[in-house]
Amino acid sequence: MQVLNEELVFHRDVPESDRRAFARGSARRILLPPGSSLFKLSGAAILPRQLHTAISPWWISTKPVDAGDLGVELMIRDAQQQGESFETYIRRRFAVKLEWNSMVSHSAVFTRIVRITLAAPVFAFYGRSQRMTDDRAPLAAPLQAGRSARLAGGGGQIWLPNLTSKHFVHVTFQLLPR
């Protein structure tokens, strides 16, 4: 049985715009075993109407991949200790622009965490997120002329293309207050 993404090479197969989302345009190939749990924040349904069509490739491991990762439960706690919503924490730490993902459920009151459990081994690319220009208007403090707000980045992200519903066995949703 062929493993999903077995033949993919980062600099050859990953679109340049996606490579730029990784710090230094670099990521390492990893093998995620069956039972691996991944999550993302999403305001939209992640399952397309046709169940075997590809899902957005951007994920975060629920458990640390390397020493710099916290895992989802510690990230939730860290956000609370810093006095910010989990949505704001993820947007800042993983440099998620608003134009890419609103992260808000339809009610606009909750942030939806989507978790999946992989059914089979898959290859993916893992690396730190590149810092990005914040595409939200600064509300708290105006910026000095010529400066732009930044989303810090640095969080460990996973790029897993070609993922469809046949590659995972479990999907859960968790709502957190915004």
What is residue 46's predicted lDDT score, i.e. its pLDDT?
61
φ/ψ bin of 108: left (φ > 0), alpha (ψ from -120 to 50), beta (otherwise):
left
Low pLDDT (below 50) residues in the chain: 105-106, 139-141, 143-147
What is residue 124's predicted lDDT score, i.e. its pLDDT?
98
pLDDT digits (tens, 9 = 90+) for 81-116: 999 888 888 888 887 756 555 555 445 566 778 899
What is residue 128's predicted lDDT score, i.e. its pLDDT?
95
What is residue 177's predicted lDDT score, i.e. its pLDDT?
66
Q: CA dist 64 to 40, 44, 70, 74, 169, Å?
A: 14, 25, 5, 10, 21
**Nearest residue to 36 (alpha-carbon basis) of 169, 150, 131, 137:** 169
- Please tell me the distance from the alpha carbon of residue 49 to that of residue 60, in angstroms, as a whole number: 23
Q: At what angle do helices 86-93 and 72-81 cross, to 10 degrees?
A: 110
What is residue 45's predicted lDDT score, i.e. its pLDDT?
60
Q: Which residues contact 46 (CB under 8 A, 6 or more apart)?
A: 40, 55, 56, 114, 171
Paired strand residues for 126:
28, 158
- Please tell me the distance from the alpha carbon of residue 174 to that of residue 160, in angstroms, as a whole number: 22
**Nearest residue to 131 (alpha-carbon basis) of 148, 152, 147:** 152
What is residue 145's predicted lDDT score, i.e. its pLDDT?
46
What is residue 41's predicted lDDT score, i.e. its pLDDT?
82
